[in-house]
Amino acid sequence: MPDYVLQRTTSHFTETQFYKILIARNISEKARQTLDKVLKEYAIGGIIKGKWEGAVSFPFIDANEKTHAIQVKSFGEDLHTVGTTFIHAILLNYQKSLKVEPEAWILNYYNQEKKIECYFGEHLLTKYPLNPVALVEAPKTAIIATFYFGLPTSLDSFIWLSTYNLTGLNVEKSRVLEGRKVVLFPDSSITEIAFNKWSHTASKIRKEISLESINVSTFLKEKATHLEKESGADLADYLLQYDWDEFHRSVKSADSEELK
């Protein structure tokens, strides 16, 4: 995907509902400054007009700074997804509405069998070469976890990455994690489908890739209530129960130890 496509979105994150909802929940200046830093690190952007006005964009940028895809999501007040698309689909529909020939890269991009061949946040691995990695399912969860637990400014801090979806964790994409300590945080559920699937995939990764370690966290398995498991709650749902400032005063240190 051309670099300019990413650049057009990244300056608009403060205009997204995602940003406004998080700021409304966590109103201190320190919380706002932290969120701004996190969103800039992950190159988060937004859509400022059209059908998807106010939606947030999550770019999948690999370790070589190449953008594989830009997911676009709109959220409700509970920060649960109400709509999902991708930037290439928005651009194609827009150019069709103008009755102009779509840009060549968009047509070529559509013809690719696979579009997301990296983890969300993967570009941060180069910047933080020695840090452990935490993998969650959704980009939103990676952003919220980083917002609450902080950017990886110390060597024991996680770089939070996202697999994109339940089946997005695999051996090939994980080769970029070689030599790292890796912890997986599957979503919760009554049937524990995500926990079981990611445990199975972790075994494959362990055999194929030389890692310091790879483990599947039982944090949500133990913390989530029956109702939360029924709704498929993830780590973001757990963290959003806390005001950011209160979390940093009384919860962060204890939960950081549990996560490890």
Q: What is the pTM for the complete model shown?
A: 0.94
Low-confidence ranges of the chain (pLDDT < 70): 251-258, 260
Distance CA 94, CA 50 (A): 9
What DSSP state is assigned to residue 120?
Answer: B
pLDDT of amino acid 254 = 61
pLDDT of amino acid 123 = 98
Query: How many other CB atoms are found less than 10 A from the CB of residue 47?
Result: 22
> Do 172 and 207 contact (CB within 8 A), yes or no?
no
Over residues 45-65, the pLDDT tens digits come to 999 988 999 999 999 999 999
pLDDT of amino acid 161 = 98
Q: Which among 13, 8, 7 is positioned nearest to 35, based on CA atoms? A: 13
Residue written as token pair 């890739």: 209
pLDDT of amino acid 253 = 64
- How wide is the angle at C-alpha 68 spanned by C-alphas 62 and 71, nearest 5°? 110
Query: How many other CB atoms are found less than 10 A from the CB of residue 208?
Result: 12
